[in-house]
Amino acid sequence: MKAKTNKGPRPKHVPQRTCVACRQVNAKRGLVRIVRTPQGTVEIDETGKKSGRGAYLCRARECWELALKKKALEYALKTAISLEDKATLQAYGAAQPPRMASDYLPADEGAEAVGAAAAGGQDGLSAPTPQASRGRKEV
Burial class (CB in 10 A: 0-12, 13-18, 19+), 91: exposed
Confidence of residue 139 (pLDDT cuts 50, 70, 90): low
- Give, as one character, the DSSP assignment of residue 10: P
Nearest-5° angle of CA 12, CA 100, CA 60?
70
Confidence of residue 94 (pLDDT cuts 50, 70, 90): very high
* Residue 6, pLDDT score: 72
Number of H helices, E strands in the chain: 5, 5
Give the whole-angstrom CA distance, residue 63 versus residue 96.
Answer: 10
CATH 3.40.50.1370 assigned to 16-99: no
Cα dist from 33 to 42, 61, 94, 101, whole Å: 11, 15, 16, 23
- Encode pLDDT of 96-134 as tens digits: 999 887 665 554 444 444 444 444 544 444 445 555 545
